[in-house]
Amino acid sequence: MRILKKSFGRLKSGEEVIKYSLINRNNFTVNILNYGGIITEIFTPDEEGNFENIVLGFDNLRDYEEKSPYFGSIVGRVAGRISNAKFRIAENEYNLTKNNGKHHLHGGNIGLDKVIWQVEEIFEEECIGLSMSYLSRDGEEGYPGNLNIEISYLLNSNNELEIQQRAISDKKTIVNMTNHTYFNLCGNLKEDILNHTLTINGDQVAFVDREIIPTGELRNIENSVFDFRKGKKIGKDLYRKDDQLIKCKGFDHPFVLNHARKFAVKLEDEKSGRVMEVRTDQPVVVLYTGNYIGQELMLNGKIKSKDYMGVCLETQDYPDAINQHNFPTRIYDAGEIYKAYTQFKFYTK
């Protein structure tokens, strides 16, 4: 197993960005930038052994700085939307950056996806990886507390990629991070993801309003377009005249996970034979089917983008929980540790 390193160019500020390649014994490769902790490519074999890239990304830094819909990045401090870009903790009201209409999205204008992380390489017997750290200052994008963040990407020889998240603040605060990779198991983005079969071990979904803010309602998914428990094609119901799907142009919904099952989410592509299983200790996965990717982007240097080219499986805590009476809400005390992990396991049928 080895780690390679090369320059990925300079940010507009002049700072150099490094691209790391984690390569395991099977040549399974994950490329990660120290900018935003962005996963730019994952190369996995199809059932005939052909290695192809299975995530959406860019071949240059400028596009990541200016155009990226959070491709591959760490998002936070709080993933998803915080309604009206404000919240209260005890007697204090905090106003966050408004970067999604009147709401706050994915950590603000300069969220964790747009900063340089300090990187340490990890070499262990069972795995290799990167430990990335960043200090988000008190008041950054409006959040309270100096927050020390550490994200580790770990790859082993079973083609399992694990993301471990940790943070500690010096003031009471909220934290809820995720990774925003858009997966497409076809390989080299040959097709969109509508023919992928998706299984979600979740019995409830959170309904959202027109601005994709949870209404607070948790619905049982039985007999609805949200029932992915037995596995179904993402495209099967996506164009149905369902009020929730029309509002979001597809799926952009938090599912409450059922932790009694052996995996949280499974994604499969029949043609290539590629399968990905997701395990996590987080209570929710947000399923986002790439509804707003649009046609303006040049993906991985050569492919014109379109909607539904990738699917995000954002494992996290309940979105907008701090403003939602109906959702369990976590507030972290000064010195209390926030911890989360998600594992992605790849294999072929």
Provide the annotated active-site residues.
180, 314
What residues numbered 138-157 form the site for ligand FUC, per CB under 6 A? none
Least spacing, CB of residue 313 vs ligand FUC, in Å: 10
Among 231, 292, 328, 349, binds ligand FUC (CB under 6 A): 292
Stretch that binds ligand FUC, among 30-38, 284-292, 321-329, 334-342 (CB under 6 A): 284-292
Least spacing, CB of residue 293 vs ligand FUC, in Å: 9
63 phi and psi, to 5 degrees? -60, -40
Question: Is residue 160 close enough to count as binding ligand FUC by CB under 6 A?
Answer: no
Parallel, antiparallel or unpaired: strands 274-280 and 104-105: unpaired
Q: With contact defined as beta carbons under 8 Å apart, do 215 and 253 qualify?
A: no
Question: Is residue 317 close enough to count as binding ligand FUC by CB under 6 A?
Answer: no
Residue with smallest beta-carbon separation from ligand FUC: 288
Residue bearing tokens 């262990």: 124
What letter represents residue 184's amino acid?
Answer: N
Least spacing, CB of residue 3 vs ligand FUC, in Å: 29
Least spacing, CB of residue 319 vs ligand FUC, in Å: 8
Cis peptide before 274 (omega within 30 of 0): no
Select 43 or 182, whichever has its Cβ closest to ligand FUC. Answer: 182
Tokens matching residue 108: 């603000």
Question: Is residue 288 close enough to count as binding ligand FUC by CB under 6 A?
Answer: yes
Select 46 or 113, whichever has its Cβ closest to ligand FUC. Answer: 113
Stretch that binds ligand FUC, among 38-46, 132-140, 147-155, 285-293 (CB under 6 A): 285-293
Among 286, 299, 311, 322, binds ligand FUC (CB under 6 A): 286
Which x/- pattern, by CB under 6 A, does the window 226-245 give for ligand FUC? Answer: --------------------
Among 113, 252, 277, 320, binds ligand FUC (CB under 6 A): 252
Among 69, 107, 187, 214, binds ligand FUC (CB under 6 A): 69
Q: Which residues bind ligand FUC (CB under 6 A)?
A: 69-70, 80, 212, 252, 286, 288, 292, 312, 314
